[in-house]
Structures are given as structure tokens and as C-alpha cells.
């Protein structure tokens, strides 16, 4: 039995580390944590998409100027794809509203 017997009842001993970890898990489920880490999570998602779509981590060019130029063009391409997706969705919505 993991509990310890006290004079009137049983109790579960927790170490300081277990208590801190439990408090951290409770904090991570709260709104304050979500508000604080939403922006970094959004940036991480954008960078992940940038890498996945363009393969930016495996550029076949050398030199600071060339790499900057290539990365800028790749970022521009991702942004153009995003705009095209949004415009396409709006066009479909407009078409559906007109047909209804």
C-alpha cells in the first residue's frame, strides 16, 4: 500500500519535486499559460510550414547574400500560396451564397 498510516487517517507522501511538477501541469492547463505561449506557438507553426513547403533547411546555395535572397523568395512563395488559398476559399463561399 503506497499510503502511510497516520494517527487518524492514511496519507500519501509527496516529494517537493512531485509537488512542483503537479503544480506545473496545472499551470499548463490554464488560460494564463495559453495566452502567454500562443504567439511563440504560432511563430513555430509558421516556421515549420515554411520549412515543410520549401525545404529551406537544405538550400543548395552558398554565401550570405545568396542565402538571404533565396530565403526571401521562398518566404514570398509561401505567402503567395496562403493568399491564393484564402482568395480561393472566398470565391467558393461567394459562389455558394449566390447559388443558394
Q: Tens digits of per-residue pLDDT, 6-24? A: 888 888 888 899 999 999 9
Tell me the C-alpha distance between 96 and 85, whole Å. 16
Q: What is the pLDDT, as a whole number, of residue 3?
A: 76
Residue partners of 53: CB distance under 8 A and separation at least 6: 77, 78, 81
Residues 83-95 have a mean pLDDT of: 87
Q: With contact defined as beta carbons under 8 Å apart, do 39 and 47 qualify?
A: no
Residues 40-50 have a mean pLDDT of: 87
Cell of 92: 467558393
Q: Tens digits of per-residue pLDDT, 49-82? A: 888 888 888 888 899 999 999 999 998 988 898 8
Amino acid at each position: 500500500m503506497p499510503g502511510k498510516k497516520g494517527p487518524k487517517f492514511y496519507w500519501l507522501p509527496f516529494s517537493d519535486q512531485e509537488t512542483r511538477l503537479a503544480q506545473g501541469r496545472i499551470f499548463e492547463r490554464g488560460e494564463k499559460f495559453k495566452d502567454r505561449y500562443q504567439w511563440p506557438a504560432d511563430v513555430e507553426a509558421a516556421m515549420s510550414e515554411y520549412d515543410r513547403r520549401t525545404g529551406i533547411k537544405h538550400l543548395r546555395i552558398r554565401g550570405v547574400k545568396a542565402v538571404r535572397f533565396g530565403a526571401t523568395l521562398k518566404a514570398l512563395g509561401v505567402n503567395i500560396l496562403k493568399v491564393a488559398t484564402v482568395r480561393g476559399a472566398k470565391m467558393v463561399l461567394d459562389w455558394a451564397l449566390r447559388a443558394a
